[in-house]
Structure 1
């Protein structure tokens, strides 16, 4: 019985390790979803390896444990390397900016009023909204606080990706990242005090749609690479920061997260879910605090808020 249990667990563990080894030797879109789960899977594989080692101590089971620890540890390392630098002690003297990012779920119509009220009370200066149709009846209400808007009839007829701002929006651009979805990429520029800040919003396709996810991230990187100075990018990326194509985006553009990222999907998994919604920044924009909003308000995602600081020029 012990031998059978060992063979079953070891076989499953070897298959799991093989999936994650692929990220280090080749690119194959078919397993891209798994890479966002590297930390969770790594922890599970460490437990499985420990069981194997207890059933039959030896070089083989020890090697399974070492490989599993490497997979889990590398996930933590990538998350740590993506963190922003520690905020300076004088961040309290910087220009403050609060950002909200939330995929409200396109058919979540019954909660539109509650979500609109939450956005209005959130204190956010900029709100990135994905699948924004539930908010369409409440745009007049929101416009009293956010007089500047992209999406839902402003600069695009679609009501999917929407950007709300308390600051005037300049150099507005709306485009597509691929032929799968329309108007899921927005760029604009605002002035906070005397400082110019570039904004970008994106809603990426799911990573199991062939190579679309990686190709959309390449399009996104190509569009953002010419931009100089502070940059704020947020949205629903349908992948964790530790996924290979996400890591490539951050390195190409010089972006960081805004703190240790909480899980945002699926909501039923709570803190054990995956952080697939992000607020990224580039210096000299600084991060002070990143939090998950207290309720999902009927969406299949949790939203995020980030408190940022921008040096006064």
Structure 2
């Protein structure tokens, strides 16, 4: 191999090594919150490793290329499955929405909620101006719990089901209550997590875990997690409440670009369920309409 070929081989080898480090680092959220931040780009990192593995093969790094190709297929396949799996049918409709604290199209959002006709609505960033939407929906959703939040507003749960008296409470970035419908009785939690590392998501999760641990029985957990569903922080929350993600995973944050959507809003339920996207309607997040199974 001539000098130029050797240089290309070294360059591709270094690039492949860095891509693998980035990909594997996304599995280390249990060790440090940085791992969860890297998990957001797991799909992109898997594609990068796949492309560089092909390049490494042509550069003569066949053993490294083979191992990297298997790694990319395994990790990328998990992400692809999350986006492709449709989820099972369910019994109750849940409308999940980060409203955006400065929403300028509340009328469209109200119309979309009424058109979807869910039994439960979970909201985040319910600011003072956004309370007008809740007031307008009082006729259809008389049971409403609104909790205080950060400067952008707090979480809320709206429902036309019967609320079990004395079960409503607010927590660190969450609103929760228990509802009863026929023989069914289950918890509903609306959650808004902080941004991930280097911000305070990991600390907030530590505060929320003992709260969710006290909720026994079937549950629905919905909200703006500011994190992908396969990250350690989200898995810890869903595991302690014993809920499963509805499918498929959907790109919901459109604040950067409609072409680059982050899958950071989710709906979980005890027996999973299926979910479809709804419009933005004045927000930088798409809504989710989930059919949850309990």
Range of TM-score over shorter length: 0.7 to 0.9
1:251–1:141: structure 2 CA closer, same or farther, 3 Å change rule?
closer
Q: After superposition, where does 1:99-248 map in structure 2 within 5 Å?
A: 99-108=94-103, 110-133=104-127, 134-151=129-146, 156=148, 159-170=153-164, 171-176=167-172, 184-210=173-199, 212-248=200-236
Partner residue, 2:39 = 35
Q: Which stretch of structure 1 is more off in the superposition, 51-60 or 120-129? A: 51-60
Kept in 1: contact 2:157–2:188 (CA 8 A): no
* Structure 2 unaligned regions, length at least 5: none
1:157–1:260: structure 2 CA closer, same or farther, 3 Å change rule?
closer
1:259–1:70: structure 2 CA closer, same or farther, 3 Å change rule?
closer
- Deviation of residue 149 (structure 1)? 0.9
Kept in 2: contact 1:205–1:213 (CA 8 A): yes
1:65–1:156: structure 2 CA closer, same or farther, 3 Å change rule?
closer
1-side partners of 2:73 and 2:17: how far apart? 13
- Deviation of residue 189 (structure 1)? 0.8
SS of 1:47 mapped into structure 2: helix
Partner residue, 1:281 = 269
* Structure 1 unaligned regions, length at least 5: 177-183
- Deviation of residue 223 (structure 1)? 1.3
- Deviation of residue 120 (structure 1)? 2.0
* TM-score (norm: length of structure 2): 0.84
2-side partners of 1:57 and 1:157: how far apart? 53
Q: Which stretch of structure 1 is more off in the superposition, 249-258 or 226-235? A: 249-258
Residue 10 of structure 1, aligned match among 7, 13, 21: 13
Partner residue, 2:281 = 297
SS of 1:50 mapped into structure 2: helix
Q: Does 2:42 align with 1:53?
A: no
- Deviation of residue 187 (structure 1)? 1.3
SS of 2:245 mapped into structure 1: coil
1:16–1:266: structure 2 CA closer, same or farther, 3 Å change rule?
farther
SS of 2:283 mapped into structure 1: coil
Partner residue, 1:179 = none
**Aligned Cα RMSD in Å?**
2.8
Q: After superposition, where does 1:54-69 map in structure 2 within 5 Å?
A: 54-69=58-73
Question: How many aligned residue pairs are there?
Answer: 284
2-side partners of 1:106 and 1:71: how far apart? 36
2-side partners of 1:15 and 1:222: how far apart? 37
